[in-house]
Structure 1
Amino acid sequence: MPHTAGILYPGHSAEDDYPALERLLGDGVRLPLVHTLMREDAHRVDALLDIGSEEVLADGARQLLGQHRVQSVIWACTSGSFIFGWQGAREQVERLQAVTGLPTSSTSWAFVHAAAALGVHRVAVAATYPADVAAKFVEFLKAADLEVVRQSSRGIITAAEVGRLQREEVLAFAAANDDDRADALLMPDTALHTAAWLEDLEDRLGKPVLTANQVSAWEALRLAGDHRPHDGVGTLFRTATAGEREHSPG
Structure 2
Amino acid sequence: MTRPPPLVDSHCHLDFPDFADELDEVVARARRAGLVRLVTIGTRVRQFDKVLAIAERFEDVYCTVGTHPHNAGEETDVTADQLVALAESSPKVVGIGECGLDYFYDHGPREAQAAGFRTHIEAARRTGLPVIVHTRDADEDTWKILEACYAEGPFTGVLHCFSSGRELAMRAVDIGFYVSLSGIVTFKKSEDIRATVADLPADRLLVETDAPYLAPPPYRGKRNEPAYVVHTHQVVAEVKGMSVEASAEQTTRNFFRLFSKVPPPAHLALDAA
Q: Which has the higher contact order (CA 8 A, sep 6+)?
A: 1
Q: Find the structure with the greater CA-based Rg.
A: 2
- TM-score with structure 2 setting the length: 0.38
Q: TM-score, normalised by structure 1?
A: 0.41
